[in-house]
Structure 1
């Protein structure tokens, strides 16, 4: 089997990663995330129709009526609509919206109208930030013990790379960031770390079995050896996510986009961030093998 020279293209990959990271940071700093109702608070209205309405037409009608940051999604089936808006909750707001949408579909009926508080956003910001910090510290400790500290640095940078770019893309294109997208981001963390660990484990095995100090070649060998596994895992996951994106409805649309981006970025970063950083950090065979073992392998007494 012909080996692909992944490490030979690492400098191009560095440029791509840096450009994407800078764009993401810039977008997050100036445009911020388009936070959903779960984080900002507002009103949630569920409406049932006898026939399925045109969702785009419903959005335009509410937007023309002056409602701000309206989110309209099918809920359950095509005849159920979930309208989320940041307007303050009032007793008759649900009935008012139903009257304004009476021309879309047949017999619109108000199922429920609820106020959604923004407390969940505050809790997620504080507790989620603390949880992410603890997770990163735990990853560093685990990888430093199981592999070596340079591996831990590469894995953490790869994780931050993937999350930053996913958030940046959501910010840049104004995609709504809600609790389902937050769940996708956490799943991206797990996927990216798992893919990185698989590559790292093979790199370590190759270093321990070989007497060569050519880290670039050993990393290339490891990536090629795990390539079939990576393609099978990523490919089957992407197929499922594409099906969710096309047929999962509006509720799962942004969730599917976040996971698709995460799968692509996680596969990319396991090669061109996590593994390539080992080269930049000047990983040596002696970092993983004791001095006595090194001397025996080199033929010294």
Structure 2
């Protein structure tokens, strides 16, 4: 029978460190594979296209709308409710020779013919493919720059082994979250990029709390090896980690279930990222620091000799 708790009440998290490493490596490998084969389902923010918002007099039948558009040459349209059951958002890939208002009028005509209802156009937005390419480049650059800045920050605040563990854990969270989006082919737009940056900040905050306690325990506790010190630090911060993640997930789940189509992707990214980030704060960041050989000697403050100390030692 496994001995989960030590005599002093410390949970032996590192007992499952090897299993966590295997699990994380499998998840990262699967994510990289699906990203390289399926890539991502880019939204109109990145590919370019037209977004049309329309209003119906009665609750809209989305299947009937999709069939109406498909029969009239718009089979690539993405149809979803937003706001209420009477409000519908139609997203279209770029169509040669059709842009903006002209395309919007054709969609309105197709919907009125297919559903037999009066349809009101609320909004039409067109995003050119060049703008989409620039947004994709800017979004990827924002994530990379944030990781570099975080690496610089944690390198100054912590010993390099802890800093490397924190940054690799952040990369772990982002890769797995993007991989799940690739597997599920969830549409990726600018709100997803914002959610990924939010996940990076959330996961880093959680990791720094754990690392602060690890450094404090290495300096304060005189007995025990690196494994015992790290287990103790994670156990001491576990309640804080679970409470913070739990309360945040309550809000995110509410957004996921009741927030509507406009922020569904944002809420999905946060839901996945916070769950993966909580796991990585416990099992990835600290485990990587341990594998890199962090020990008490690396985290002890440097000794500063007092001025005149050499004279005090003279007989």
Q: 1: distance between equivalents of 2:181 and 2:70?
A: 22
Please report how far the alpha carbon of residue 226 of structure 1 lies from its aligned counterpart in structure 2 after TM superposition.
0.7
Residues matched between the structures, number: 293
Cα deviation digits, residues 80-118 of structure 1 (max 9, x gap): 212111032345322222232234484212233332123
Aligned to 2:281: 270
Aligned to 1:24: 31
Contact 1:68 1:85 in 2 (8 A): no
Residue of 84, 87, 90 corresponding to 1:80: 87
Q: Calculate the TM-score normalised by the size of structure 1.
A: 0.90
- What secondary structure does 1:211 align onto? coil
- What secondary structure does 1:226 align onto? helix
Q: Calculate the TM-score normalised by the size of structure 2.
A: 0.86
Contact 1:163 1:189 in 2 (8 A): yes
Q: Which deviates the most, 72-81 or 184-193?
A: 72-81
- What secondary structure does 2:36 align onto? helix
Contact 2:10 2:235 in 1 (8 A): yes
Residue of 110, 114, 133 corresponding to 1:100: 110
Aligned to 2:298: 287
Aligned to 2:209: 198
Please report how far the alpha carbon of residue 68 of structure 1 lies from its aligned counterpart in structure 2 after TM superposition.
5.0
Q: 2: distance between equivalents of 1:143 and 1:112?
A: 45
Cα deviation digits, residues 161-213 of structure 1 (max 9, x gap): 00001111111111101111111111111111111111111111111101235
Unaligned runs of 5+ in 2: 1-7, 305-315
* Gap change, CA 1:22 and 1:105, over 3 Å in 2: farther
1:50 maps to 2:87? no
1:12 maps to 2:19? yes
Cα RMSD after superposing both structures: 2.1
Please report how far the alpha carbon of residue 290 of structure 1 lies from its aligned counterpart in structure 2 after TM superposition.
4.8
- What secondary structure does 2:284 align onto? helix
1:209 maps to 2:209? no
Please report how far the alpha carbon of residue 123 of structure 1 lies from its aligned counterpart in structure 2 after TM superposition.
2.6
Q: 1: distance between equivalents of 2:25 and 2:191?
A: 28
